[in-house]
Amino acid sequence: MTVDEKIGQLIQLNPKFFADVSVDVTGPWESLGIDEGFLKNIGSVLGSRNAEEMLIIQKKHMAEDKNKIPMLFMKDVIHGYRTIYPIPLALGASFDPDLVCECTQMEVKEASAGGVHVTFAPMVDYARDARWGRVMETCGEDPLLNSIMGAVQVKAIQGDDLRDTDHIAGCVKHLAAYGAAEAGRDYNTVEMSERQLREFYLPAYKACIDAGVTMLMPSFNSLNGVPSIANKWIMKTVLKDEWGFEGVVISDSNAVGELKTHGIAADSKAAAELAFKGGCDIEMMTANYYVGLKELIEEGKIDMAQLDAAVERILNLKESLGLFEDPFRDASPEKETAVCLTDEHRAIARRAAEDSTVLLKNDGTLPFSKDVKKIALIGPFAESKKIMGSWACNGRDDECVSIAEGIRNLLPNAEITVVSGCSAELGSTDTSGFDIAVQAAADADAVILCLGELSIYSGEGNSRVDIGLPGVQNELAKICVAANKNTAAVIFNGRPLTLGELDSICPAILDTFFPGSEGGNAIANLMFGVANPSARVPMSFPRAVGQCPVYYNHPSTGRPKRNDFDNYRFKSRYLDCGNLPLYSFGHGLSYSDFRYESMELDKKQFTADEKITVTVTVRNAGERDGKEVVQLYMHDLVASSVRPVQQLIAFEKVEIAAGETKQIVFEITEPMLRFWDADCNYISEAGEFELFVGYADHPYIQDRFELI
Ligand code: GLC
């Protein structure tokens, strides 16, 4: 291979450069200045639309490339390819790794048939600030939950053999701490201690690497003064030396070029040198490698062996995908059509939407009786089909089931009135739809308020400083509930919203996040009791945006405010708001009635080479079968550095039939008690630990144990 051909393998462009096809833009583009002759060397394509487009581009390339090296086709397949299931934040709420595995396996079957070779997933950025728009892509505020869900996705994406065309390669992102962008503003700077990084922000990336993920994408943000892509500590010391990652590193879109914008590269050549030496193998959508690498090699600043090593990693990935045997990996428009959006896949998406919708509040209003005759659907989402959320890949709004359609499907004989009542636009003050909404509420047997934030208000580049229900939705809720008490709300959101006013108004609230293609059917099933809510809050819902970031696993202070009634002035508190979130991590209601009867420890003291067996007994005293998320938390009472007041150390989602009692067994081992001390040693320390089962800030049964 010539130097140009080698450098070409290190550049990724979108389909527009290779054929007259349509392109989804996922970021700003510089004018690249790549000459036509060089294009045949390009090694990978960002975001081809479908199998047909991949075939056009790949066939043309294979005809022109003298080395006959197939291109890699990579795409953001985040929560479904064509059959769209709930956003990752909702999947986190499911607390169900098996469900996440099933959804992901379905997704990659469709994506592979659609000509995708690599997906830029899982995204496992740990996030605590609901103002940040990309919390919709994470599984929430707990490192254990994020790690488990990330690893499950890697295994489901890649399978056991990348030659199996039911699987593709994964790319974990965005290393590191993108979710800690200052003030929740996307792309903003991140300053953080190594201890905090290692304790909370790095574990999920490591879990994905340990699960065998083949690619990794650094984050846009600067981390302690150096943008991740050029940050030798995170990209070499941690990623390569400590974690032993040997896969392919790809920049985020435009990120190499943005080293100039960050102000740490004077020009393209400097940007290329920093990124390449930072370990970035593929440059996405900028051409600094095209401009600078050749000169850097001629100047001896980068040696040919380093370039060859990067090319080899990329060629090895292509080889492991079987691309040299079949550059098209058995993808075709016919196969894509046959595989996508089948009834089986829709059923998976529907079950996922049911099991990732959280029942936040219920005074007994839900479930509605299926015998109701007149139902009023009121709110901007009442018949909206824009319910997939951001990163919906090839999903189509018109293939989504709205709430109105879902309820008509379930109750074909009911009289359903649909009134939008108001807009979900930010800043809307239009109340002209209120009168007709109130009338519809008054005339109905049951009212469903369909409220939320538009899907364009979360996702990349979409941070908010006010995370309430946009417009006059709270006002709409107030007058409708006044007109008819038999009212429940369902919320569409890409982040925790400040729902305090709605909570004070509405008897029952379901939060469905963005449920995807089958959202309307799932919500209808939940509203009318065909399905029983089983999801739990994956990320604290603030009472006020001024609390952000508010999260459950916070350290103590010297002056903790013990509860919302502790109003002593000299405490860590706000004058105008409590410290606790409106809905805590792990909160969620059910139509069943789960009673925690006991928590037994087989010993109260153990040494590092022993384990404690914890047996939790839960009874379903209700009349409905249901699923409970049994959550086990610990608190390290005294340690050499301040520890969180509570940490989720294990969870299990279990089905418990009406009247049934089940025992759920957990094991506590010494590694579960380890933490990063002030000197960044990963250690456990002897001492006493509190243990409780329940959910954050809400222990049902408590006990203590000791590591000796
Ligand atoms: C975007 C996102 C990244 C995505 C990439 C390719 O800017 O930050 O998550 O994978 O570009 O679309």
If asked whether residues 318 and 251 sit together in one domain, one would say yes
- 258 and 388: one domain? no
The verdict on 73 and 182 lying in the same domain is: yes
- Tell me if 26 CB under 6 Å of ligand 1: yes
Q: Beta strands 169-175 and 226-227: pairing type?
A: unpaired
Q: How sure is the predictor about 567, in pLDDT bands with cuts at 50, 70 and 90?
A: confident
Question: In whole angstroms, what is the distance from residue 384 CA to residue 452 CA?
Answer: 11
Asked if residue 120 has its Cβ within 6 Å of ligand 1, the reply is yes
- Contact call for residues 275 and 229 (beta carbons, < 8 A): yes
For residue 167, the one-letter residue type is H
Residue 88 lies in a domain: yes
Percentage of the residues of the chain whose pLDDT score is greater than 90: 95
Parallel, antiparallel or unpaired: strands 626-636 and 687-695 = antiparallel
CA distance to 240, 353, 598, per residue, from 215 (Å): 13, 29, 45
Q: What residues are paired with 227 via a beta bridge?
A: 222
Distance CA 122, CA 60 (A): 31
pLDDT digits (tens, 9 = 90+) for 513-560: 999 999 999 999 999 999 999 999 999 999 999 999 999 999 989 999
Q: How far is the CA of 531 from the centre of ligand 1 (A)?
A: 35
Ligand 1 center to residue 496 CA distance, Å?
A: 22
Same domain, 331 and 359: no
Q: Is 173 in the pocket of ligand 1 (CB under 6 A)?
A: yes
Consecutive H or E run containing 405? helix 403-410
- Residue 63 confidence (pLDDT): 94
Q: Assess whether the C-beta atom of 27 lies below 6 angstroms from ligand 1.
A: yes
- According to the model, what pLDDT value does residue 21 have? 75
Pairing, β 661-669 against β 611-620: antiparallel
Task: Report how far ligand 1's centroid is from the alpha carbon of 43 (Å).
Answer: 18
Is residue 555 situated within a structural domain? no
26 Cα: distance to centroid of ligand 1 (angstroms)? 6
- pLDDT tens profile 270-290: 999 999 999 999 999 989 999
Residue 577, pLDDT above cutoff 80: yes
pLDDT at 365: 98
Rounded Cα distance, 586 and 594, in Å: 15
453 lines ligand 1 (CB under 6 A): no
In a domain, 573, yes or no: no
- Residue of 124, 253, 394 with the most ligand 1 atoms within 8 Å of its CB, for mutation: 253
Query: Which residue's CA lies nearest to atom 11 of ligand 1?
Result: 253
How many CB atoms are located within 10 Å of the residue 623 CB? 10
Structure token digits, residue 292:
């600078």
Point out the domain boundary residue: 273, 300, 335.
Answer: 335
pLDDT band at 566 (very low <50, low <70, confident <90, very high): confident
pLDDT over 90 (residue 565): no
Q: Residue 589 in contact with residue 93, Cβ under 8 Å?
A: no
Could you tell me the CATH number of the domain that includes residue 304? 3.20.20.300
Strands (E), 385-466: 415-419, 446-452
List, in order, residues 6 or more apart from 300 with CB less than 8 Å away: none
Query: Which atom of ligand 1 approaches the CA of 123 most closely?
Result: 9
State which of 303, 335, 367 marks the end of a domain: 335
**Given the structure tokens 């860590």, which residue do they identify?**
572
Query: How many angstroms is it from 497 CA to the middle of ligand 1?
Result: 24
Write down the pLDDT at residue 477.
98
- Segment 91-127, tens digit of pLDDT: 999 999 999 999 999 999 999 999 999 999 999 999 9
Q: Is any atom of ligand 1 closer than 6 Å to the C-beta of 253?
A: yes
Give pLDDT tens digits for 432-461. 999 999 999 999 999 999 999 999 999 999
Ligand 1 near 219 CB (within 6 A): no
Angle formed by the axes of helices 343-355 and 97-113, to 10°? Answer: 150
> What's the gap in Å between 177 CA and the centre of ligand 1?
15
Identify whether 565 is part of a domain: no
Asked if 175 contacts 126 with a C-beta cutoff of 8 angstroms, the reply is no
If you measure from the C-alpha of residue 27 to the centroid of ligand 1, how many angstroms do you get, rounded to a whole number? 7
Please identify which residue in the block is written with the tokens 């909702």. 90
Nearest CA to ligand 1 atom 8: 252
Question: What span, in angstroms and rounded, lies between the C-alpha atoms of 96 and 114?
Answer: 27
Nearest atom (ligand 1) to Cα of 284: 6
Asked if 451 and 396 sit in the same domain, the reply is: yes
Looking at per-residue confidence, does 210 or 34 come out higher?
210
Residue in the block written with tokens 């709270």: 474
How many C-beta atoms surround the C-beta of residue 529 within 10 A? 15
| Residue ID of nearest Cα to ligand 1 atom 10 | 120
Q: What mean pLDDT is predicted for residues 389-418?
A: 98
Q: Which of 460, 462, 463 is the pocket-test mutation for ligand 1 (most atoms within 8 Å of CB)?
A: 460
Nearest ligand 1 atom to alpha carbon 174:
9
SS3 content of the chain, % helix, strand, coil (to 5): 35, 20, 45
How much is the average pLDDT of 46-74? 96
Regarding the beta carbon of 76 and ligand 1, being less than 6 Å apart is answered yes
Sheet with 626-636, side-by-side order of all strands: 605-606, 698-707, 687-695, 626-636, 647-656
Ligand 1 pocket mutation pick from 16, 25, 26, 87 by most atoms within 8 angstroms of CB: 26
Overall number of domains in the chain: 3
Minimum CA distance residue for ligand 1 atom 3: 252
- Strand (E) or helix (H) holding 146: helix 143-158
CA-CA distance, 697 to 628, in Å (whole number)?
18
Quote the pTM value. 0.97
Q: Is the CB of 50 under 6 A from ligand 1?
A: no
Give the whole-angstrom CA distance, residue 356 versus residue 88. 10
* Beta-strand relationship, 222-223 and 283-284: unpaired
Whether residues 502 and 450 share a domain: the answer is yes
Atom of ligand 1 nearest to the CA of 173: 9
Contact indicator for 125, 178 with CB cutoff of 8 Å: yes
Q: Are residues 364 and 294 in the same domain?
A: no
Specify whether the CB–CB gap between 218 and 228 falls below 8 A.
yes
**Tokens encoding 74:** 């990579």
* CB of 507 shorter than 6 A to ligand 1: no
Tokens representing 412? Answer: 């074909």
Cα 252 to averaged position of ligand 1 atoms, centre (Å): 6
∠ Cα 547 548 552 (to 5°): 85
Closest ligand 1 atom number to CA of residue 254: 7
Does the annotation count 164 as an active-site position?
Answer: no
CA distance 328 to 326: 5
**Contact present, 441 and 417 (Cβ < 8 Å):** no
Mean pLDDT of 332-355: 98
Least confident of 47-56, 270-279, 365-374, 559-568: 559-568
> Ligand 1 centre and the CA of 220: distance in Å?
10
CB 390 within 8 A of CB 136: yes
Number of Cβ within 10 Å of residue 386's Cβ equals 17
Residue 28, pLDDT above cutoff 80: no
Ligand 1 contact via 518 beta carbon (within 6 Å): no
The mean pLDDT of 174-183, rounded to a whole number, is 98
Average pLDDT over all residues of the chain? 96
Residue-wise pLDDT for 220-277, tens only, equals 999 999 999 999 999 999 999 999 999 999 999 999 999 999 999 999 999 999 999 9
What is the predicted pLDDT for the residue at 370?
A: 97
CA of 160 to the centre of ligand 1 (A): 26
Q: How far apart are the first and last CA of the chain?
A: 61
> What does the alpha-carbon distance between residue 76 and residue 78 come to, in Å, rounded to a whole number?
6
Which of the listed residues 16, 46, 76, 286 should we mutate to test ligand 1's pocket, taking the one with most ligand atoms within 8 A of CB? 76
- One domain for residues 529 and 640: no
pLDDT exceeds cutoff 80 at 22: no
Give a yes or no: residue 553 inside a domain. Answer: no
What does the block give as tokens for 37? Answer: 């002759």
120 Cα nearest atom in ligand 1: 10
Taking CA atoms only, the protein residue closest to ligand 1 atom 12 is: 26
Same domain, 435 and 511: yes
DSSP 3-state of 315 = helix
pLDDT category, 561, cuts 50, 70, 90? confident
| Paired sense of beta strands 626-636 and 647-656, if any | antiparallel
Domain membership of residue 569 (yes or no) is: no
Model confidence at 11: pLDDT above 70: yes
Give the tens place of pLDDT for each residue, 185-209: 999 999 999 999 999 999 999 999 9
Ligand 1 test: best mutation among 77, 252, 282, 391, most atoms within 8 Å of CB? 252
Q: Does the C-beta of 252 come closer than 6 Å to ligand 1?
A: yes
In a domain, 345, yes or no: no
Residue 388 maps to which CATH number?
3.40.50.1700
* Domain endpoint, select from 279, 304, 335: 335
C-alpha to C-alpha distance for 540 and 553, rounded to whole angstroms: 10
Question: Quick one: 125 and 198 in the same domain?
Answer: yes
Residue 495 has pLDDT above 70, yes or no: yes
Q: Is the Cβ–Cβ distance between 597 and 701 less than 8 Å? A: no
652 pLDDT more than 70: yes
The pLDDT-based confidence of 32 (bands split at 50, 70, 90) is: confident
**Is residue 587 in some structural domain?**
no
Cα separation, 15 vs 184, in Å, equals 32
The DSSP bridge pattern shows strands 508-511 and 358-362 to be antiparallel
**Which residue type occupies 423?**
S
* DSSP secondary structure code for residue 173 in this structure: E
CATH code for the domain in which residue 651 is found: 2.60.40.10
Tell me, yes or no, whether 180 and 260 share the same domain.
Answer: yes
Which residue is catalytic, options 252, 355, 511, 636?
Answer: 252
SS3 category, 532:
coil
Same domain, 301 and 394: no
Residue 579 has pLDDT above 70, yes or no: yes
Give residue 25's pLDDT: 65
- What would the DSSP string read from start to end of 382-411? TT----S-S--TT--GGGSPPHHHHHHHH-
Q: Which residues contact 296 (CB under 8 A, 6 or more apart)?
A: 269, 272, 273, 276, 302
Domain ranges, residue 497: 353-547
How far does the centroid of ligand 1 lie from the alpha carbon of residue 337, in Å? Answer: 26
- Judge whether residue 568 has pLDDT over 90: no
- pLDDT exceeds 90 at position 42: yes
